Amino acid sequence: MYGLADCNNFFVSCERLFRPDLNGKAVVVLSNNDGCAIARSNEAKALGIKMGQPLYQFSNLVSSGKVTVFSSNFMLYGDISHRVHATLREAVPVIEIYSIDEAFLDLTGIPDDRLDSLGHRLNRMCMRNVGVPVSVGISHTKTLAKVASKLCKQYPRLDGACLMKRPQDIEKVLRKFPVEDVWGIGRRYAARLHLHGVSTAFDFASLPEEWVKARMGLTGLRTWLELHGVPSISFGEDPEPKKQICVSRSFAHEITDKEELYEQLSQFVSMAAEKLRKQGSLASEMDIFLLTNRFKDTDRLYSRNRLERLEPPTSDTFAILKTARYAFEQIYDSRVRFKKAGVTFSGIIPSEGMQMSLFDGGETRDNGKLMSVIDSINRKEGAGSVVFASQGFGGVKMNRGHLSPQYTTKFDDILKIKV
C-alpha cells in the first residue's frame, strides 16, 4: 500500500503558523514580484479568488481588509517543508519527496488493520510537531493515494486521513471523481477525454486498455493501471534528475546599469549551478537571456539570448560564471531597459560519467571540493551566506511588499515573546 501526505493550502498554512490571528480568515500568498495568487486559504477560495489570478483584480478585497496577502517567503516554506518530511520519516521508513508540500509513503509490510490509524497518526504528528494540517491518503497505488488525499480535503469529517482499500469503496469514489483531477491526466488529456464522453475517473478506468495505450501512450496506460489498483509508477527516495534547469526572475524595477544587471544575472547563474550540483549533474550547454517588459509598449521589445557550450561539461560556478560573463557581454545593450533575465542549463549529464576527465585538469577537481563546501555552508547558514563576488550582496531585486519574517531561519527574525 502507498500513502500520500499533502499539506493543506501549504504556503498559507506556513504563514498562519506565526499569525494564528489569521486562522479562519481569507489569506492569499502571491507569486514572485507580488504578481498573482499562488496559494489561497479555503476562505479566499470561497471569496472567488482563483489560482493564478493577478493581485490587481482583487486588490479591493485587500484594501477593505477582507483578504490578507503575503509575498512568497520561500525560506520559510522550505524550512517548514523539511520539518514535515522529517516528521513523516519518523513514522514511515521510506518516503519519496514529490514536491515542497507533498510526499509519497511506502507502506509495504504494514498490516492492513493498522493503516487507517497510521494515517490519522501521521496527520496528528504533523499538526503537533510542525503545526501544519496534512491530508493523508492511503491506497493500493500512488495515483489512488492521491485521490484519497483529495477526499480528505473535501470531507472534513474524514479528519485528515482516508484509507481507500475495498474495491466497492474505490469504485464509489472514482464514479464521482473528475477525470481532470486524476494525477497524470492533465488539462490537455482531460479535454480530449471529455470529447469521448469520459468525465470521471471511473469512466476513464472503464475504457479498454488498448484504447488508452493507443491514444495516450505508456503514461496514460500507467495511470489507467494505477486506477485499477496495479502499482505502475515507480517509487524512490530520489526523484529523477531534471534534464533542464532554468532560473529566471522579473525585476521589481527595470534595470539599465550594466553591472547591476550582471549582478542579478550572476545570482540566477549561481542558483542554477547549485541546483545542478544538488542533483549530481553537469551541464554541457548554457543559455543566457535578457528581456524587456512585455507589458509595456514604450520600449521596443528586446529579447536576446546567447547559447554557449560548456566544455568540458561542468557544475563549477567559477567556470560557468566566466562563460556567462562572456555571453552577457555579447547580448547587453545599454540603450535598453531590462525587466527580466535568466539562464537555462541543458545537455545535462550525471557527474559520475565525468570522473575520468577530472584528471585532465586538477583545477576542476579542487573547485569541486570548494563548491561542495560553499553549498553546505549555504544550506546550513542560509542561502546567500557565501556568494560569488559578481553576485554582490543585494539579493534578487523583487517586489515583495508583503513579505513575512523568516521566523525559523534568520536570527533577527525570531519571534520575541513578552512574559
Footprint of Mg ion on this chain (CB under 5 A)?
Answer: 6-7, 10, 101
- Could you give the C-alpha distances from 404 to 6, 44, 84, 174, in angstroms and in order? 23, 18, 20, 40
Give the whole-angstrom CA distance, residue 137 versus residue 362.
51
Least Å distance, CB 241 to Mg ion, is 24
Q: Which amino acid is at 156?
A: P
Least Å distance, CB 4 to Mg ion, is 10
Which is nearer to Mg ion, 4 or 348 (by Cβ)?
A: 4
Which is nearer to Mg ion, 101 or 226 (by Cβ)?
A: 101
Give the whole-angstrom CA distance, residue 35 versus residue 294.
14
> Under 8 Å CB-to-CB from 173, ≥6 apart: which residues?
147, 148, 151, 164, 201
Which is nearer to Mg ion, 139 or 250 (by Cβ)?
A: 139
Least Å distance, CB 7 to Mg ion, is 5
Give the β-pairing of 37-40 and 26-30.
antiparallel
Which is nearer to Mg ion, 98 or 388 (by Cβ)?
A: 98
Which is nearer to Mg ion, 7 or 269 (by Cβ)?
A: 7
Q: Which residue is nearest to Mg ion (CB)?
A: 101
Least Å distance, CB 5 to Mg ion, is 10
Q: Which of 141, 161, 140 is nearest to 149 (CA)?
A: 161
Give the β-pairing of 26-30 and 67-71.
parallel
Give the whole-angstrom CA distance, residue 3 versus residue 114.
13
DSSP per residue, 117-185: HHHHHHHHHHHHHT---EEEEEESSHHHHHHHHHHHHH-GGGTTEEE--SHHHHHHHHHHSBGGGSTTT
Which is nearer to Mg ion, 77 or 338 (by Cβ)?
A: 77
Least Å distance, CB 416 to Mg ion, is 31
Least Å distance, CB 185 to Mg ion, is 18
Give the whole-angstrom CA distance, residue 172 versus residue 177.
9
Q: Which of helix, strand or coil describes residue 363?
A: helix
Least Å distance, CB 280 to Mg ion, is 27
Least Å distance, CB 133 to Mg ion, is 10
Least Å distance, CB 101 to Mg ion, is 4
User: Is 144 within 8 Å of 138 (Cβ atoms)?
Assistant: no
Give the β-pairing of 245-255 and 338-350.
antiparallel
Which is nearer to Mg ion, 52 or 401 (by Cβ)?
A: 52
At residue 102's C-alpha, the angle toward residues 101 and 108, to 5°, is 150
Which is nearer to Mg ion, 143 or 264 (by Cβ)?
A: 143
Q: Which of 231, 208, 204 is nearest to 145 (CA)?
A: 231
Least Å distance, CB 76 to Mg ion, is 16
Compute CA 253 distance to the chain's CA centroid, rounded to the nearest angstrom.
25
Which is nearer to Mg ion, 13 or 250 (by Cβ)?
A: 13
- Could you give the C-alpha distances from 87 to 5, 73, 121, 279, in angstroms and in order? 11, 22, 11, 23
Q: Which of 96, 356, 27 is nearest to 364 (CA)?
A: 356
